[in-house]
Structure 1
């Protein structure tokens, strides 16, 4: 069942049909990681599309009668994995039917293909197991392997598919690929770059498309990458459909009624409960600047993502940090401000000037950290209010006197805050005009 809020408020399609695109690295990944959700979405009437990056040429093979297809074993068929690729492609076709997927396409084949670009296929990169139990790059990665190709190239192929399908939601792996497989990690990088590229580059047939929602798959591993401030959705998918789709991938998975095993033959519970974390909400006023560089600089492998929406807890954290920093700067500056030196007959309030320099540095630091000029102004106001309280006498004297040093420090706080606030506002205006 798809919970309310997981999909956008309304689909972009005029007939009211939601469109979703799942991006996976190899045949079987779609069924194991997201099969329950894909089936639930498909059976609810959504159009579910699947982009598969490779054909899984270097996968491990479980059935003894097909073991010769696994590369690198004694007596295996030395075909670079072509035989296994054919079998896994057939398995994927059966799984697609079981899950109700509307369309499955391989990367480098139309419509996941740049215009005027010859069709191509990308090889499984292979992997090895690291000492920490996570996947890592194989000792030898062959030419043409997916994870070694140009990010600009594969992102452009994926962007072409996004512009053609115009999905309401795109789902792929988290930045760590779930368990570290190089192809999974690269799938994440490719997909995020493609989403930005699709939003700024189109052609006469396929106009630019800004994907409304992007999710990453929440791994079931304990060391999974997880942002506690981003929304997480748990979906109770369709177990029967997921079971049959996994069973279709017989070279990779052994499926019993309520459990399954991979090539290690260690059985684990079979569940259709799958987690997804919000990665991106499309913002019409923000265009991916890194996407523009991808479009303008062929061959340059760059990755970025638009900033996610900030939650209330984010702003509470920023606000408390500004409050603490403002009071701290006020206390330190007040302790420092009275230091002066005589230069001839002129009194130099170097302590107050140094305190103002400290204030400017902290405002700039907080502003850049939070990406909010307003928060920098708030910090300055907090510092000023705190110092006004310090200037009120408690007993015989106040902490800030009405002399030259005190005046430079107290009124300088207001001046520095206004100048830095104006500078940030003018910078925003200039950046908007450049766009």
Structure 2
């Protein structure tokens, strides 16, 4: 197996890249793979966790602060090529509403001008991503599945434009592997069970049914993080407005978002091949070798 030459990751907001792909990016950088991160918005609608920073919530200053967090996370992962889709401020966070079904979300009723998930803008967004992919010439593109992982409208749109851009550049599907991030059900469940035994953990652990997982058998590639998980934890800590990290040296470490539910930072990240050449699975899997 040979590692990919160049990889582009398309994510909706700062912190999404680290939660789902931080280990993959760190391992790719270590392997000499060219890594380009495309972030579509600066997460302007994000909730802010630390009391010392809560004045940023809903403030026009939040975007700049989260951009700084993203810079720190990229530095922790070793990623030096980072782009904002369409340039800074072109697209903003659409926001979301809870569905009441575990950790799952849906689009708000009203989307303002410039909201990333507005239907009218999808063709322009695809064109902007095509421009980046044409320059970078990746053999691997990573984003989300059709549900956006947990339903956030910006994640769904990132999936749509990643797929649209790859199809335009590789209509026969024989050059570019298009991948979706995933969470393997049984590994997540084992991690949650281990966290449930940690009496010191100050937050509740959700049932696995509340989390967006996929059957383990549907995962195409499991990328073992090894020492790269240390870099992923550092990148998670960099997103301080959005994430709390709990690590006492026992397995697994944990993180929590603004919902105050503890989730495991697993020793592997999981990916599903959506489209691409037959050897694409071996190519991405080489990063675990």
**What is the DSSP-based 3-state SS (H/G/I as helix, E as strand, rest coil) of the residue aligned with 1:147?**
coil
Q: Does 1:43 align with 2:21?
A: no
- Is 1:158–1:194's contact at 8 Å kept on the other side of the alignment? yes
Summarize the Cα distance change of 1:57–1:211 in structure 2 as closer, same or farther, 3 Å threshold.
farther
Structure 1 residue 47: deviation in Å?
Answer: 1.1
5+ residue gaps, structure 1: 12-17, 72-76, 110-118, 201-208, 284-307, 310-435
Greater relative contact order: 1 or 2 (C-alpha under 8 angstroms, separation 6 or more)? 2
- Is 2:141–2:178's contact at 8 Å kept on the other side of the alignment? yes
Q: Does 1:127 align with 2:96?
A: yes
One of 93, 108, 111 as aligned partner of 1:138:
108
Count of matched residue positions in the alignment of Structure 1 and Structure 2: 246
Summarize the Cα distance change of 1:228–1:66 in structure 2 as closer, same or farther, 3 Å threshold.
closer
Measure, in 2, the Cα distance between the counterparts of 1:211 and 1:66: 45
Summarize the Cα distance change of 1:93–1:249 in structure 2 as closer, same or farther, 3 Å threshold.
same
Deviations 1:162-187 (A, max 9, x none): 00000011111011000000000110
Runs of 4+ with deviation above 3 angstroms: 219-231
Structure 1 residue 266: deviation in Å?
Answer: 2.0
* Higher alpha-carbon Rg: 1
Structure 1 residue 231: deviation in Å?
Answer: 5.9
CA RMSD of aligned residues (A): 2.5
Q: Does 1:255 align with 2:255?
A: no
Summarize the Cα distance change of 1:61–1:213 in structure 2 as closer, same or farther, 3 Å threshold.
same
Which residue of 1 is the match for residue 180 of structure 2? 216
Which residue of 2 is the match for residue 178 of structure 1? 149
Deviations 1:225-283 (A, max 9, x none): 85998661111122100000000000000112121111022222222411001111149
Equivalent positions of 1:355-366 (< 5 A) are none
Structure 1 residue 139: deviation in Å?
Answer: 4.1
**What's the TM-score once normalised by structure 2's chain length?**
0.78
One of 223, 235, 250 as aligned partner of 1:245:
235
Summarize the Cα distance change of 1:219–1:143 in structure 2 as closer, same or farther, 3 Å threshold.
farther
5+ residue gaps, structure 2: 186-208, 248-252, 282-289
Measure, in 1, the Cα distance between the counterparts of 2:184 and 2:18: 15
- Is 1:242–1:272's contact at 8 Å kept on the other side of the alignment? no
Summarize the Cα distance change of 1:250–1:225 in structure 2 as closer, same or farther, 3 Å threshold.
closer
Deviations 1:308-338 (A, max 9, x none): 99xxxxxxxxxxxxxxxxxxxxxxxxxxxxx
One of 68, 73, 77 as aligned partner of 1:90:
68
Summarize the Cα distance change of 1:230–1:163 in structure 2 as closer, same or farther, 3 Å threshold.
farther
| Structure with the bigger percentage of helix | 1
Which residue of 2 is the match for residue 155 of structure 1? 126
Measure, in 2, the Cα distance between the counterparts of 1:197 and 1:125: 26
**What is the DSSP-based 3-state SS (H/G/I as helix, E as strand, rest coil) of the residue aligned with 2:162?**
helix
Summarize the Cα distance change of 1:183–1:53 in structure 2 as closer, same or farther, 3 Å threshold.
same
**What is the DSSP-based 3-state SS (H/G/I as helix, E as strand, rest coil) of the residue aligned with 1:146?**
coil
Measure, in 2, the Cα distance between the counterparts of 1:107 and 1:173: 16
